[in-house]
Structure 1
Amino acid sequence: MRAIELDEALTGMNELKRALMAKEKATDLFAQVRGNGLASTLGTIEQGFGGELSNPNIASRSAHLL
């Protein structure tokens, strides 16, 4: 499993925002990044110990993004 890069996450968020706004399901307030929070969260997902990831599967990784 590869790491989620900040630029990749921001691109995905912006694409989702545009799609939802086109359907009038979101406003400009959707997906606003505050400070360093997203970068910190993505870093936490990639943490591990002894060569093992703390979040080895997609379910545990995605839980950090909610």
Structure 2
Amino acid sequence: MRYTITQVYVVPARSQAEATDELMLAMEQGNAGLFLVRTSVRGEKVSVLPRLSWWALIRRQLTGR
């Protein structure tokens, strides 16, 4: 199984370039955790049922099948 790991950092700066430089410097020094706000881990979604078109889904809902 594959997982997607996303980390969100908030870096105070006047520009995007300055924020990037600040975060890279913190990563080099091992202090990136100071700016870390959230970490998200997601696994692959496995669909058991085949995908239905909108019309097939509506038909299924209306007929109760």
- Asked if Structure 1 and Structure 2 have the same fold, meaning a TM-score greater than 0.5 normalized by the shorter chain, the answer is no
In the superposition, the TM-score normalised over structure 2's length comes to: 0.29
TM-score between the two structures when normalised by the length of structure 1:
0.29
- Larger % of strand: which? 2
Q: Greater helix percent: which structure?
A: 1
Higher Rg: 2
| Structure showing greater relative contact order (alpha-carbon pairs closer than 8 Å, 6 or more residues apart) | 2
